[in-house]
Amino acid sequence: MDIKDTARPLDGAGLSAFLRSLPAKPLLLGLGEARHFVGELGDLRNEIFRHLVAHEGYRSFAIESDSLMGLVVDDHITTGAGTLDDVMERGFSHGFGASPANRELVRWMRAYNEEHEEQVRFFGFDGPLEYWAASPRQALTALHALLDGPLPCSGETLDALLGPDERWSNEAAAMDPSQSIGRSVEAQRLRLIADDLVALLDTQTPRLSAADRERAALYGRTAVGLLRYHDGMADASPARWARLSALRDAMMAANLRAVAGHGPALVFSHNLHLQRNRSLMPFGDQLLEWWSAGAITAAHLGDRYAFLASALGTAGDDTPPPDTVEGLLSTLPWDHSLIDARRLAEAVTNPAPRTSDDFRYFPLDPARLDMIDGIVFLKRAVRLG
């Protein structure tokens, strides 16, 4: 089979045809990044989302960014609250607010909502964490404020147990478990209070508006997940980093299941978070293993989850060898291609794995092509942040 027979140009017609070829219409369509901050991929993602909204009934966009900060963006695009500059500064984590493509996406989503009765929504689906975790204060106090008595503790008690936020956001705890507050007496009590508040939320669901229920559920997931993560940061065992990686992706997966409740959504994140297979990552002298958010989500949604992995041909001055998957795909005649990954797996014979000097770029794994629905291939990327 010629690899051209597995591919089509990535345009609106090609994308819609590809979606029709899937076993079911995805509730969540994952678009993965082989590398963060690729300008051309951000622009292409925006084109894909606009097509999905206009022609495929998609109404939500979710990105690998702090879920609580994402509320700032969603408020802006649905109500007009705040200026675009302010939203880009306060609504994204991981430096994603500086991305021109993200700025253009937010601007377009706000403009769309001003002109249409059926609104589009924005979600961050990462926790307020990466290698270290934020304070659970925002999530706990916001959930506490939404609930009615009798509550498991007063607001004053909650504030006293939380203490200064600096104790929670100490970046040194990322590498030194002894610096973590996660197994202190206060943290352990807060875990019980968070559990009680989430249980209380279930009992009070009827008295809350749909919007308050949605936010309260997010605050509850975030508070419980953050406190678990802080507990993991205090773990000095060799399993520490694998556990932390798994906890982060489990938080992502829980947020994605909530996003799916709003109907078809495009999800934008690193390939490693959206893939179906077990994640493997070298870390010092360890090989970390855990299940990604995509794998967990696919276990819940089945065929209603689809994954498009992105791959790059020439990235900056790094050109793939011709015997790699990326090298073979570079022979396609289109600048942007959409490839049926499972058919590609049948068409190629023992391709070599690509290596890259860019530690932020994760090439395709030739042995895992059959676990990807499709590949979004960019023949050339020069705008690397």
131 falls in which pLDDT band (50, 70, 90)?
A: confident
Tens-digit pLDDT profile for residues 315-361: 999 999 999 999 999 999 999 999 999 999 999 999 999 999 898 99
pLDDT tens per residue, range 79-104: 999 999 999 999 999 999 999 999 99
Q: Are strands 28-33 and 305-315 parallel, antiparallel or unpaired?
A: parallel
Structure token pair of residue 127 = 């926790």
- Residue 57, by phi and psi: left (phi above 0), alpha (psi -120 to 50) or beta? left
pLDDT tens-digit series, residues 141-190: 999 999 998 999 999 999 999 999 999 999 999 999 999 999 999 999 99
Task: Give the type of residue at 369.
Answer: L
Task: Give the pair of three-digit tokens for residue 291.
Answer: 């299940």
Mean pLDDT over 354-383 rounds to 95
Q: What is the pLDDT of residues 32-57, one digit of tens each?
A: 999 999 999 999 999 999 999 999 99
Asked if residue 290 has pLDDT above 90, the reply is yes
pLDDT the model gives residue 239: 95
Beta strands in the chain (DSSP E): 7-9, 28-33, 60-66, 121-126, 265-270, 278-283, 286-291, 305-315, 336-340, 374-381
Q: What is the mean pLDDT of residues 225-252?
A: 97
User: What confidence category does residue 296 fall into, taking pLDDT thresholds of 50, 70 and 90?
Assistant: very high
pTM above 0.95, yes or no: yes
Q: What type of residue sits at position 198?
A: V
Using the predicted structure, report yes or no on whether residue 300 has a pLDDT greater than 80: yes
> What end-to-end distance do the CA atoms of the chain give, in Å?
37
Q: Is residue 328 within a helix (H) or strand (E), and if so which, with residue range?
A: helix 325-329
Residue-wise pLDDT for 67-82, tens only, equals 999 999 999 999 999 9
Question: Cα-Cα-Cα-Cα dihedral of 317, 318, 323, 325, to 10°?
Answer: -120
Rounded Cα gap, residues 339 and 11, in angstroms = 12
Nearest CA to 67 out of 117, 119, 142, 118 is that of 142
In the numeric block, the tokens 């809350």 are attached to 208
pLDDT tier, 306 (very low <50, low <70, confident <90, very high otherwise): very high
User: Beta 374-381 vs 305-315: how paired, if at all?
Assistant: parallel
3-class SS at 34?
coil
What average pLDDT does the chain have? 96
Domain ranges of the chain: 136-238
**Residue 283's pLDDT band (boundaries 50, 70, 90)?**
confident
pLDDT for 282 beyond 90: no
Q: Residue 1 — very low, low, confident or very high, per pLDDT cuts 50/70/90? A: confident
Q: In the predicted model, is pLDDT for residue 286 greater than 80?
A: yes
What crossing angle do the helices spanning 100-115 and 70-79 adopt, rounded to 10°?
40
Q: Residue 161 burial (CB < 10 Å; 0-12/13-18/19+)?
A: middle
Q: What is the pLDDT of residue 136?
A: 98
Q: Give the number of C-alpha atoms closer than 13 A to the C-alpha of residue 376, restricted to the C-beta side.
A: 28
Q: Dihedral of CA 136/137/143/144: which sign? A: positive
What is the DSSP pairing of strand 286-291 with strand 121-126?
unpaired
What pLDDT is stored for residue 125 in this prediction? 98
Please list the residues that pair with 279 across neighbouring strands. 290
What is the percentage of the chain residues whose pLDDT exceeds 70? Answer: 100
Q: Is the pLDDT score of 284 beyond 90?
A: no
Per-residue pLDDT, 240: 96
pLDDT at 261: 96
